[in-house]
Chain A
Amino acid sequence: MPTLEKPKKRDMLKIDDIHVYRGRTYVLQGVSLEVGRREIVALIGANGAGKTTLLRTISGLLRPKKGKILFQPDSQSQEIDISGASPEQIVQLGISHCPEGRGIFSRLSVLENLMIGAYLRKNRNEILDDYNSICRVFPILKEREDQAAGSLSGGEQEMLAIGRALMSRPELLILDEPSLGLGPIVVESLFQVLSEINSRGVTILLVEQNAIMALDLAHRAYVLETGRVVLYGTSGELAGNEDVQKAYLGGIV
């Protein structure tokens, strides 16, 4: 197992040995993981490995039975244990979760969708600034702002979901399968935007089925298997790892 020292930047998110049940199923069986400030970290693994469960636990939708989730909103502030916090407290602290399947409010307009993303914020001018900068990143959203969100194409909906998550001005953006159901060209441009968002200072933690794309984008990655981290390292290391190649990259890199 490649055990590279984690980056020297202080970790923004530190998950320490969490155990999570969904109903009676023991899904996460002691997962630890770190996300450094301004990093892109990918979680890969087969269906049912617990990736979505892990993300939902971070954003407070599920509670761990055991273990800690430490979050440090900015490099000056204290680390906070968010493992018992409610989803809205976690959004307020600066973690924004873009759920699997996008969760678009399809009968509402594109603009309304985006504004709901800023639900917990009060300062209208700041909200407008963020709205304008999101429209610069995704010009199509500005073009379609009066349309019902359900009328957008899959790729546009994903952009809307990401834009909406950014409207809470997060420090950490959590993405669950952003490439789901999208064509390769759309995925390519989407991932380009993600790296642009990252270069503006947003840390990203993403779950991806598409391991090739994920390793290409991310700085580091974790491989999850049946509720445990079985492998982690820099993307380069994982892409070069024989097991990973066989299991997730179809044997060719």
Chain B
Amino acid sequence: MIMTRNRLIHCALFIAGIAFTASAGMALNEYVLSIINFAGIFIILAISLNITNGFTGLFSLGHPGFMAIGGYVTAILTFPVSKKAMFLEVPPWLASMEMPFLPALLIGGACAALTAILVGVPVLRLRGHYLAVATMGFLIIVQVLITNWETVTRGPLGLNGLQPLTHLWWVYAWVVITVYVSWKIKFSSYGRSMLAIREDELAAQCLGINLFRTRVAALAIGAFFAGIAGGLWAHLVTAITPASFSLVLAFNIVVMVVVGGTGSITGSFAAAILFSVITEIFRPLEENFDIYGIGEILMALILILILIYRPSGIFGNKEPGVLSPPNKKGGCL
């Protein structure tokens, strides 16, 4: 295998990530570590939403819904058998099951993706803001179902006392996988067919792209990673409640994608870090000076400024030159 400059840079970034993860685990305190963990989860969320919203142009607000499904499925699967018997009324096969983290996460992601397919088949016939409203409806349905299915989810109380399984290595590994998969998609023929749908549906169809199947796949791939992020989230916070997966969260993820540049993986990555850090920086300010909400206000302000001065986001729909495929041809040739 020939090491091109671009591949070298990718390897270097990968190793730098490992070094960062290792040293952060040793050197930093719990608080800073949790910020980094959350930032990582937001990276996964933003990049996966970018596949749906950015590449394929499906304006989905349902991302937290998929996250909730992944989170609850993972949480129930890893929940200790003894606690299950105490708190939940689930079928015997589930009650006697306690899974390791990885298979539970994967099943959570798969359930989210499956739901995306089921929901996508009727809903993806809609376009633009109709789709946004429909996916918002989906999110609300998920919240209501979780809130009311008390025997399995404990309703609004949520599940707490989850094992703190998520640590920085898990998050780092999933960030790497998410970036890798979405990168591979973007610079493949399949990814180009998604971009084509975003640009002009009729022309894409004329060139033999199956609109419907590609749209459903884009939603499902995004949902899978949202589900994983949900599982990681649940075992980081060690609790999961329906209220966490709100429309505000949907808005925040969409903002990250838009600010980073719809279609840009690097953009989603950077914006996710930016917003996680901003919210945390302003937290002491909020608490000490009693000005709650300043972080949100600032975030909205940044969004407005970006939309005015750089409507296509920080990175547009591109990746920076040093990172993008070596022959400058977007991997076409």
Contact = CB atoms under 8 A, between A and B. Distances in A.
Same complex origin of A and B = yes
Interface in B284-305: none
B192 A116 contact: yes
Interface centre among A104, A108, A161, by most chain B C-beta atoms within 10 angstroms, is A108
A61 B329 CA distance: 31
A165 B193 CA distance: 14
B200 A104 contact: yes
Contacts of A59: 206
Nearest to B197: A105
A161 B199 CA distance: 14
Contacts, number: 88
A27 interface: no
B199 A105 contact: yes
Contacts of A115: 189, 192, 332
A168 B208 contact: yes
A145 B328 CA distance: 10
Given A99-B203, A103-B203, A111 B332 contact: yes
A106 interface: yes
A103 B329 CA distance: 21
Report whether over half of chain A's contact residues are helix, strand or loop; otherwise say mixed: mixed
B206 A112 contact: no
Interface residues of B, number: 23
A97 B200 CA distance: 14
A103 B192 contact: no
Given A103-B200, A105-B199, A119 B333 contact: no
Contact count band on A = 35 or more
B176 interface: no
Interface centre among B189, B200, B205, B263, by most chain A C-beta atoms within 10 angstroms, is B205
Interface centre among B195, B209, B332, by most chain A C-beta atoms within 10 angstroms, is B332
Contact of B208 (A92, A102, A131, A161): A92
Interface of B: 189, 192-193, 195-196, 199-200, 202-210, 263, 317, 328-330, 332-333
Given A108-B192, A112-B332, 20 more contacts: A59-B206, A61-B202, A61-B205, A61-B206, A86-B210, A92-B208, A99-B202, A103-B204, A103-B206, A104-B199, A105-B204, A106-B199, A107-B263, A108-B196, A109-B330, A116-B189, A116-B193, A116-B204, A116-B209, A119-B192
In the A-B complex, the 8 residue pairs with the closest CB atoms:
A103-B203, A91-B208, A105-B199, A88-B208, A97-B206, A120-B208, A103-B200, A115-B332
